[in-house]
Amino acid sequence: MTNGLARVLSRLALIVCGMISIVLSRAFRVMQVLIPDNHVAWTVFSAVLAVVGGLAAIIALLPSSWLDRACKIGPDTQDRSFVPIKFLGGFAGLSYLLIVGLDFAPLTWHPAAQVVYLLCPACVLTVTVDPSFRAVLFGLAPLTAAAYGSLGAVLGYLFLAVRNRL
């Protein structure tokens, strides 16, 4: 019972993270039209987020038997089936803490736009404003955590598929 509930909740988390990545991808596409800046690779950020989000959503919608077969998960490797969700949680947690920590960066630190968007994809939503700590805590950090969580889950499934084949 708990294994089935865990699978449903992990699939739900994966599809939510994937959809958030796709929405952030669309925000980068809009910024490419509104602010055509040569210093920011809007298309690259948009494409990466779309691919990762799309893969996460597709994986979340695939039948469990297909995933088990693709990752070679059997009765003797059942404990490994939680590797992708652990990757999702790890990537999401670390990125959340990083974004909240970056809010405490000194004002003299002026990173390039590429670095900011690489660390915080959700920062594209605040191009013209400086967000408050509350907005970072409840807006930017969770959205970025979801984007990195979907990346972690996709990498987790890839790791599991490659590892179980060796």
pLDDT tens, residue order, the chain (166 aa): 456 787 788 889 999 999 999 999 999 988 888 877 766 788 889 999 999 999 999 999 988 777 777 777 665 555 556 788 899 999 999 999 999 998 888 878 878 888 888 899 998 888 777 888 999 999 999 999 999 999 999 998 888 878 766 6
Rounded to the nearest angstrom, the gap between the alpha carbon of residue 4 and the centroid of all alpha carbons in its chain is 24
Rounded distance between C-alpha atoms, residue 21 and residue 130, angstroms: 22
Torsion-angle region of residue 131: left (phi > 0), alpha (psi -120 to 50) or beta?
Answer: beta
Structure tokens at 20: 């958030």
pTM to 2 decimal places = 0.86
Rounded distance between C-alpha atoms, residue 49 and residue 21, angstroms: 5
Q: Give, as one character, the DSSP assignment of residue 111.
A: -
